[in-house]
Structure 1
Amino acid sequence: MEITQKYINELTYKITGACIEVHKIVGPGLFENVYHECLKKEFDLLEIKYQSELEIPFNYKDKIIACKVKCDFLIENQIVLEIKSTSDFNNFHRAQTMNYMNLLKVPKAILVNFNVNNLYHEGHETFVSRYFANLK
């Protein structure tokens, strides 16, 4: 399968839909690990391939550093999904998500906050990397 911008955008739509479904059923106000486990079940139901709590290799001066840098999900080896359950996003959350996307060299990342009333309107942000621009 050829990875295109259209494919990445359609996958983004499916991931966002899965997050909305979990939020609709579970609601706001729980710990992040609850949403994480529910998303794993939802992705399984939708047959979306993912890696959960993926440890990202960290390279410093051409050496792999033994540190624990983990993203919540890597979806189809193309999109980072970072989830939160917090009062609001802050710049650290955004920077963390973008760093994961860039370290993994994937075209897109999604940051989702489950502690909101309406996940679609106020609970998610998407980011694109230079790898997205290079796709057809």
Structure 2
Amino acid sequence: MNAIGTAVMDSAFTVHRQLGPGLLEAVYEHCLAEEMKLRGLQVDRQIAVPVTYNDTKLDVGFRLDLLVERKVIVEIKAIDALASIHVAQLLTYLRFADVRLGYLINFNTVRLKDGFRRLVL
């Protein structure tokens, strides 16, 4: 999983170097998925994940931005600053998708390393 995480980070840095900040999340999502595919990773976009409530699975429109190798969730933002609600969102996604590793990446930063959060359940 560490190798996948490293590939996610390297891919994000490549995309950020080429595009810079200031674009829509959808642009970064598409380009990051493409960059990771070029590196040989399996990447699925906008994956629906049901919420289980009272033993019933409900499709409530909750979607993962990217699922890499079916093991790592990548949640993409293009906002002024990450907030605790964004961390909570990714933690919820990890729990409901039964995935242990996730990355929260805010591309709207001058230095991308300031927009990275790595979360492990």
Is TM more than 0.5 here?
A: yes
Partner residue of 1:127?
119
Separation (CA, whole Å) in 1 of partners of 2:24 and 2:117: 20
Bigger radius of gyration: 1
Question: What are the Cα deviations for residues 93-134 of structure 1, in whole angstroms up to 9, with x where unaligned?
Answer: 1111111111111120100000001112x01000101xxxxx
The percent identity for this pair of structures is 29
Separation (CA, whole Å) in 2 of partners of 1:57 and 1:100: 10
1:33 matches 2:38: no
TM-score w.r.t. structure 1 length?
Answer: 0.86
Separation (CA, whole Å) in 1 of partners of 2:29 and 2:4: 18
The count of residues paired between Structure 1 and Structure 2 equals 121
TM-score w.r.t. structure 2 length?
Answer: 0.96
Q: Is the 8 A contact 2:33 2:66 kept in 1?
A: no
Unaligned runs of 5+ in 1: 1-7, 130-136
Separation (CA, whole Å) in 2 of partners of 1:65 and 1:100: 14
Unaligned runs of 5+ in 2: none
Partner residue of 2:68?
75
Counterpart residue identity of residue 51, structure 1: D
Further displaced range: 80-89 or 62-71: 62-71
Post-superposition offset of 1:30? 0.7
- Give RMSD over aligned pairs: 0.8
Structure 1 segments of 4 or more deviating over 2 A?
A: none
Q: Does the residue aligned with 2:76 lie in a helix, a strand or coil?
A: strand
